[in-house]
Amino acid sequence: MIQLNINNKVYEVDASAEMPLLWAIRDLVGLTGTKFGCGMAQCGACTVHVDGTPVRSCSFPVAAAAGKKITTIEGMTEKIGEAVKKAWIELQVPQCGYCQSGQIMSATALLKSKPHPTDADIDAAMQGNLCRCGTYQRIRSAIHRAAEMI
């Protein structure tokens, strides 16, 4: 059994040590806001925070997350996360929406480390998050908008 602290709640999961955190969160804990996109840390759909740092949960062994503070999109309730979600709605970012959990997790982490990012900061921080619908410009604007709100 591995103990996981997800969104300030403790879960006991029966998983092999190398199971990716993504599948522990989705299949064993049952939180499905974190998405599966590629399974090799190339698309960012599975982004969660581990001790405040954004990680690609599809390539992060569950054992390495034990004892750490994991935050998923469902737990994005502090000030910055709320501002990001609000900006996402205000600027109507999502199209299909599948990648947006990961985009919001990456954007929130960026704003935590850089409260007023430049376009270049955003391009660098968001480079690992694919959006097949092409909402990139709106994501850029929404990050600036969230920065204003915070």
Partner 1 sequence: MEKSNNTHSRRSFLKVSSITGGGMMIGFSWLANLIPNEAMAAAVASKDWIELTGFIKIFPDNRITIISPNPEFGQNVMTSLPMMIAEELEVDWTKIKVEQGDYDTPRFKRQFTGGSQAMRTTWKPLRTAGATARLMLLQAAANEWNVPLAELTASNGFINHKATNKIVSYGALATAASKLPTPEKISLKKNGEFSLIGTPQKNVEGSKVVTGKSLFTMDYKHEGMLIAMAIRPTAFGMKLKTFDATEALKMPGIKDVFEIQVYKDGYVKAGFDTRTFNNLVVVVGNTTWEVMNARKKVNIQWEAFQPYKEFAGAGNNKREDTIPAGLESTDEHLKQMYEKQQVQGKILRKDGDPDAAFAKAKKVIEKTYSAPFLPHNTMEPISCFAHITDERAFFVAPIQIPEMMKQSITTNLDIPAEKIEMKLARMGGGFGRRAYGHYIIEAGLISKKMKAPIKLIYTREDDMTNGVYRPSYMVTYKAAIDEKNNVTAIHIKGGGLPENAIHENRFPAGAFENYLAEGWDIPTNITIGAFRAPRSNFIASAEQSFLDELAEAIDKDPIDFRIELLKKAKANPIGKNNEYDADRYIGVLELVKEKSNWGSPKNKHAKRGVAAYFCHNSYAAHVLELTMKDGQPVVGNIVSALDCGVVVNPEGAKNMVEGAIVDGIGNVLFGGLRFEKGVPMQKNFNQYRMIRMKEAPKKIEIHFVQNNIDPTGLGEPPFPPIFAAFANALYKATGKRHYHQPFINDLNKS
Contacts with partner 1 by CB under 8 A lie at 15-16, 19-20, 23, 26-28, 30-40, 42-43, 45, 72-74, 76, 85, 88-89, 92, 94-101, 104, 119, 122-124, 126-127, 129-140
Q: How far apart are CA 86 and CA 67, in angstroms?
A: 31
Q: How far apart are CA 10 and CA 21, in angstroms?
A: 14
The identity of residue 134, as a single letter, is G
What's the token pair of residue 95? 């199209």
Rounded to a whole number of angstroms, the minimum distance from the CB of residue 150 to partner 1 is 16
Rounded to a whole number of angstroms, the minimum distance from the CB of residue 54 to partner 1 is 14
Nearest residue (CB) to partner 1, 5 versus 59: 59
Rounded to a whole number of angstroms, the minimum distance from the CB of residue 130 to partner 1 is 5
Nearest residue (CB) to partner 1, 111 versus 131: 131
What's the token pair of residue 67? 């004892």
What's the token pair of residue 107? 């954007």
- 13, β-bridge pairs: 2
